[in-house]
Chains A and B, each alone.
Chain A
Amino acid sequence: MENAIRISCSRHNLKVVRDFVSSYLAAYGLSDLQLNQIILAVDEVVANLIIHANHEDESQFLDLRVMMEKQVFEIEIEDDSKSSYQPSLYKEPDLQEHIRVGKKGGVGMTLVNRIMDRVEFTTTGTHNVCRLYKRIG
């Protein structure tokens, strides 16, 4: 079973990532709802890294590695973008306000934070690693 992939920074690869996570988790008997939530959380982080951090530059790559330990699913997503996500700047969105002003973005990390048990971003030099953890079952 594949537990690592490398993708170029194109939003067309989001489907590739979702299929990768889905096929890895297929052996664990998750409910449709939980499987969809985990796939969604990964998709949101990867979309942010492709679109915002790497500006859809297809010469740049993301490395993804998944693992399961003691019923905890973990995924590591690594890239070398110059801009790294700052979790300390995260603000809960005001959806009524988003609707009022017609705002398109800004709710992806809310989904990630609400779905996953733990979300970590670390940067060493220009190397960024995002780790997402979710207890399953």
Chain B
Amino acid sequence: MKINQQTTENTLTLSLDGELDASSSVLLDTELTKPEVLDYKKVLIDCQRLNYISSAGLGVFISHLQRFQDANVKLVFFNMQEKVHNVFEILGLDALMTIVPSEAEATAI
């Protein structure tokens, strides 16, 4: 699992590359826990190269969502592969999180 970062003045984009499981999710949790993440208006999660997610990966996003909302930071997922989106759907998380098809739509939010 690799996490690449890109920033603009208002937006932090994390591009996830690989498999997000109970082993690798610790890395993502560390990134999202950093206080400076809350300095941005939006945190975009590019899922194009995210090939797999388990409940541990979902749990990281679930556990940070309220903190982001309280700080008025939007968390937006884009470019999600169908099989990864399906895992969000099985739990009903697709209705509780913002998932859009493309980077353009994520940027426009």
Give which listed residue, A33, A43, A115, contacts B21 with CB less than 8 A.
A43
Q: Chain B residues near A95 (CB, 8 Å)?
A: 62, 91-93, 96
Report A17 CB to chain B, min CB distance, Å: 10
Give which listed residue, A37, A47, A99, contacts B62 with CB less than 8 A.
A99
Q: Flag whether A105 is at the interface (Cβ < 8 A).
A: yes
Query: Could you tell me if B22 and A111 are in contact, using CB atoms closer than 8 angstroms?
Result: no
Give which listed residue, B66, B82, B86, B91, contacts A100 with CB less than 8 A.
B66
Q: Chain B residues near A102 (CB, 8 Å)?
A: 62-67
Query: Could you tell me if B90 and A108 are in contact, using CB atoms closer than 8 angstroms?
Result: no
Q: Flag whether A74 is at the interface (Cβ < 8 A).
A: no
Q: What is the count of residue pairs linking A and B with beta-carbon distances less than 8 angstroms?
A: 93
Query: Could you tell me if A33 and B23 are in contact, using CB atoms closer than 8 angstroms?
Result: no
Q: Flag whether A15 is at the interface (Cβ < 8 A).
A: yes
Q: Chain A residues near B64 (CB, 8 Å)?
A: 102
Q: Chain B residues near A44 (CB, 8 Å)?
A: 54-55
- Chain B facing A: main interface SS: helix
Q: How many residues of A contact B (CB 8 A)?
A: 33
Q: Chain A residues near B67 (CB, 8 Å)?
A: 102
Which residues in window 10-44 of A have CB below 8 A to B? 11-12, 14-15, 18, 32-33, 36-37, 39-40, 43-44
Residue of B nearest to A46 (CB): B22
Given the interface contacts A11-B23, A15-B21, A110-B91, does A40 sit within 8 Å of B54 by beta carbon? yes
* Residue with the greatest number of chain A CB neighbours at <10 A, chosen from B52, B56, B90: B56
Query: Could you tell me if B90 and A111 are in contact, using CB atoms closer than 8 angstroms?
Result: yes
Residue of B nearest to A47 (CB): B22
Residue of B nearest to A17 (CB): B21
Q: Flag whether A126 is at the interface (Cβ < 8 A).
A: no
* Residue with the greatest number of chain A CB neighbours at <10 A, chosen from B52, B54, B64, B87: B54
Report B10 CB to chain A, min CB distance, Å: 24
Query: Could you tell me if B55 and A18 are in contact, using CB atoms closer than 8 angstroms?
Result: no
A-B contact list, 14 entries, CB within 8 Å: A36-B83, A43-B54, A95-B91, A96-B96, A99-B66, A101-B66, A103-B63, A105-B56, A105-B59, A107-B58, A108-B55, A110-B91, A111-B55, A114-B91
> When A and B form their complex, which 9 residue pairs have the shortest distance between CB atoms, in order from nearest?
A108-B55, A36-B83, A104-B59, A47-B22, A11-B23, A104-B63, A102-B63, A107-B55, A99-B65
